């Protein structure tokens, strides 16, 4: 599956500086494999492998200077959940990942990485009908993120 999305923004700190992350984009390629289950009322297990890329502008809060921030990562994940009412899928998720983050700060090329290379969380997905799949996911341990997504199959 190929995905594209929008980064809403955010902030981060490093080397005694604070940076605002401006809106940007992301793209990823993901493959998954159902290990077991999936019928209504049954537990299911899925494993995934994903490669993602993102790019946004960052602005140094102290100087107001901005530069490009690029990132890529390779992720392996597992999801365990249950299918309810033939359409609703609450789940728990865990992932491990790694990849570089690159920016030019104060005239120097910088390469960094995440402080934590894992994410643990939960979410819910639903088959909304007519090939539309909607999902919400929150990871609060390790990488912290809230993700809303939709997919159309045809």
Asked if the model's pLDDT at residue 29 lies above 90, the reply is: yes
**pLDDT score of 116:** 87
Tens digit of pLDDT for each residue in 101-121? 999 888 889 998 888 899 999
Q: How far apart are CA 43 and CA 88, in angstroms?
A: 12
Q: What's the whole-model pTM score?
A: 0.78
Task: State the total domains in the chain.
Answer: 1
Q: For residue 24, give its domain range.
A: 2-152
Q: How confident is the model at residue 55 (pLDDT cuts 50, 70, 90)?
A: very high
Asked if the model's pLDDT at residue 151 lies above 90, the reply is: no
Nearest to 13 by CA among 55, 52, 60, 51: 60
Q: How far apart are CA 76 and CA 51, in angstroms?
A: 9
Nearest to 51 by CA among 29, 26, 32, 80: 29
More confident residue, 133 or 14: 133
CA contacts within 13 A on the Cβ side of 50:
23
State the chain's mean pLDDT as an integer: 92
């Amino acid at each position: 599956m190929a995905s594209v999305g929008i980064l809403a923004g955010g902030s981060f700190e490093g080397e005694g500086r604070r940076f605002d992350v401006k809106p940007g984009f992301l793209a990823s390629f993901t493959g998954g494999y159902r290990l077991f289950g999936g019928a209504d009322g049954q537990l299911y297990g899925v494993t995934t492998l994903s490669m993602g890329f993102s790019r946004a502008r960052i602005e140094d809060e102290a100087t107001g200077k901005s530069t490009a921030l690029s990132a890529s990562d390779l992720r392996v994940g597992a999801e365990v959940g249950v299918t309810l009412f033939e359409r609703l899928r609450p789940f728990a998720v865990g992932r491990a990942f790694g990849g570089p983050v690159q920016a030019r700060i104060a005239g120097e090329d910088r390469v960094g990485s995440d402080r934590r290379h894992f994410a643990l969380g939960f979410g819910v997905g639903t088959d909304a009908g007519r090939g539309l799949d909607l999902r919400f996911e929150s990871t609060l341990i390790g990488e912290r993120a809230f993700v809303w997504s939709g997919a159309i199959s045809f």
